[in-house]
Structure 1
């Protein structure tokens, strides 16, 4: 059984104009279309076609007895998102209950917890490149970065200040706005637009990302937090896993995101939205890591499958003919080209920008076509 899903673009200010309209083959809106959500989260605005009627997807799942305990998004960022962290399960449940009891209202901009769920998420780059900040640098890598910045013109007062930060207190000092942080932010912004020669790909990427941050958020001390973090450039098809407690910020590009159905975000910089420094530091529990947790797909039945021990879901990238198991209720998302998915007596064409729910079945899905589509399935932990 196949059922067509629809959703409404989220017009956040960091979005790419007309990105979701173009994906869906709709007339341009000339709005910054940031995200398109598919799932049962209350804020998803996701519906399912029932003849000429569009029924709320969550209600439809309840009535039909099907389940899809995930949230899937297309994301299009034309400028950096906030530096943020997502809570663990116990933190989310306690925070949601507390804010429900004390306020603010669920739709208030001062609200942090929109639900009681954690938000482990997988991001897969769909554009040629996708830039991000992720996790804290270990001490040795932070020292190497500072040496690169100093050699290419970063002001000495900021070099000295950053060098004096202890590994244990660096994030807390910056987030809390300690002495000199505003000056460091100014110096990092000025450094990012210098024309000194940068002789390594790593240095070029750092300067490009810092310049984008400085342009989008002049004077924001989040640029100093960014100094403490890995700078990443994913290429098409590369994937990054973000666990609860891990600080991150997406900087630019088009991507597919898969997560548990949560909209809980604790922000620590690069945003005009509500920030809570104490809660951010309490939630950001992940230690520095030498290498970010990239997720490399494995080839299975001709498809690229993204999965991992910590991921309560799997994602399969489909580029051509073949059979693919789909034993649990799942979503199919068309990215490019056109496919026909068949099982038993049911057959469904799926084109670019179309999203379908498919009921789980022991029989594999037969796939015919060319382009790129994605199958997203929940998995038990």
Structure 2
């Protein structure tokens, strides 16, 4: 029997959502994108999903309660069996004015062990020294709405050695030599650890000054910008080890476990596993646990993992990263075609431009979103504008 306070579980539901006012967010970007009035404070992240930290609601009821009440109807049997009675993904819009923290996410095994260990030590979930907020990994993908850039993964050590050499600091020679001659993973581990150590504080100050003086150098300019945003932060030097990546609108970047990264600027749609596990390396005033960080970071040099979408003739662009929890589709709605949504899976549809209509039931305007439960009758998406649709990724039971 349906609980009297709950919306019909198979209905398409308009979501009420939360915008989080982190200090790195933009005061104007989301209001300009969504046609709303600025609040005067930073608007950093719009959350859409069932995460307890800022759950979306439908009819005043948190989405996680609707799912828990009838997971077979809301999630579908395969998703519920694979992930339990939880929406496996979290959808966000990011509006980045200042660089985010330099950070990394754990594997599932690392998250389970770390969460259990902190619980055993009696560390409250809201304690600022708490590292693991849940027992899940947190792969993620960001798709650019505007020009977007960030740091992602370790650059080839020899290339980083050449970059450090351009700073002209004799004190960097041991790190340059290690990166030039050592085994790549071992060299990156050593240099990264030494950069974060308190003993390197004087050399980090020299690096910061050199970066600010080299701000006209195109390759160093992004790191000089980080130095201006976070003066005196240990993460400034460590950021020099990472690839800088630019995304044009519509381009996407995937980040798996252990990959250090920091988003630096722009607006993007982000989708991730439904987790809040973040280990920070720097560019933050929040807790940094260096020993745990060193256990989680993957020191393999890597090229940023771009996700190329598959396009269909009607203007749907499907981004399919290697994560079972999520997939994302960008729908370019021209008014000429309808897009048939798949059935049997839980979906969130977000309008970012123009107008998106879900059947005859709901019309979404920029910044508005809806939840489409797995048991919803056949649903079409139409209108004139751009919408993003989240769903679980491909997985094997």
TM-score interval w.r.t. the shorter chain? 0.7 to 0.9
Using the TM superposition, name which of 4-13 and 332-341 deviates more.
4-13
1:133 to 147, 151, 157: 151
Distance in 2 separating the partners of 1:266 and 1:119: 11
How many matched pairs? 361
In structure 1, how many angstroms separate the alpha carbons of the residues matched to 2:215 and 2:280?
A: 33
Match of 2:113 among 94, 102, 110: 94
Are residues 1:39 and 2:45 paired? no
Q: 1:79 aligns with which of 98, 105, 108?
A: 98
What is the Cα deviation at residue 29 of structure 1?
1.2
**TM-aligned CA deviation for residue 98 of structure 1:** 1.8
Displacement of 1:80 in angstroms is 0.9
Q: 1:221 maps to what in 2?
A: 234
Distance in structure 1 (CA, Å) of the matches to 2:233 and 2:214: 22
2:139 aligned with 1:120 = yes
- 1:165-184 per-position Cα deviation (integer Å, ceiling 9, x unaligned): 34414344443545873344
Contact 1:133–1:232, Cα closer than 8 Å, also in 2: yes
1:371 equivalent in alignment to 2:385: yes
For 2:310, the equivalent position in structure 1 comes to 298
| CA spacing shift, 1:316–1:63, aligned 2, 3 Å | same
SS in structure 2 of the partner of residue 32 of structure 1: coil
2:355 is aligned with 1:332? no
Question: Hey, what does 2:328 align to over in structure 1?
Answer: 315
Q: In 2 relative to 1, CA 60–310 (structure 1 residues): closer, same or farther, beyond 3 Å?
A: closer
After superposing the two structures, state which structure 1 stretch, 166-175 or 216-225, moved more.
166-175
CA contact (8 A) 2:353 2:387 kept: yes
Contact 1:333 1:373 in 2 (8 A): yes
Deviations, residues 262-282 of structure 1 (Å, cap 9, x unaligned)? 000011111110001111110
Tell me by how many angstroms 1:368 deviates.
2.4
Moved more, 234-243 or 277-286: 277-286
Q: CA deviation at 1:75?
A: 1.0
Mean CA deviation greater in 318-327 or 207-216? 318-327
- Structure 1: distance between partners of 2:89 and 2:65: 15
Q: 1:8 aligns with which of 13, 18, 26?
A: 18
Number of the residue aligned with 1:58: 64
Q: Give the direction of change, closer, same or farther, for the CA distance of 1:365–1:216 in structure 2 (3 Å limit).
A: same
User: 2: distance between equivalents of 1:102 and 1:180?
Assistant: 30
Per-residue deviation, residues 145-190 of structure 1 (Å, max 9, x unmatched): 345xx2xxx2332442431234414344443545873344333323
Unaligned runs of 5+ in 2: 1-10, 76-86
Once the two structures are superposed, what CA deviation does each residue of 1:235-267 show, in whole Å capped at 9, x if it has no partner? 111111000111111111111111110000011
Matched residue, 1:186: 205
Kept after mapping to 1: 8 A contact 2:23/2:44? yes
1:289-321 superposed Cα distances (whole Å, 9 cap, x missing partner): 1x2110011102431110033453221111113
- Which secondary structure state, in structure 1, belongs to the residue aligned with residue 351 of structure 2? strand
Output the TM-score relative to the length of structure 1.
0.88
Relative to the length of structure 2, the TM-score reads 0.84
8 Å contact kept, 2:212–2:228: no
Kindly state the Cα deviation for residue 359 of structure 1 after the two structures are TM-superposed.
2.3
Q: Deviations over 1:40-81 (max 9, x none)?
A: 111023211x2xxx1111111222431332111111111111
For residues 186 and 315 of structure 1, the distance between their equivalents in structure 2, rounded to whole angstroms, comes to 42
Q: Distance in 2 between matches of 1:326 and 1:353?
A: 23
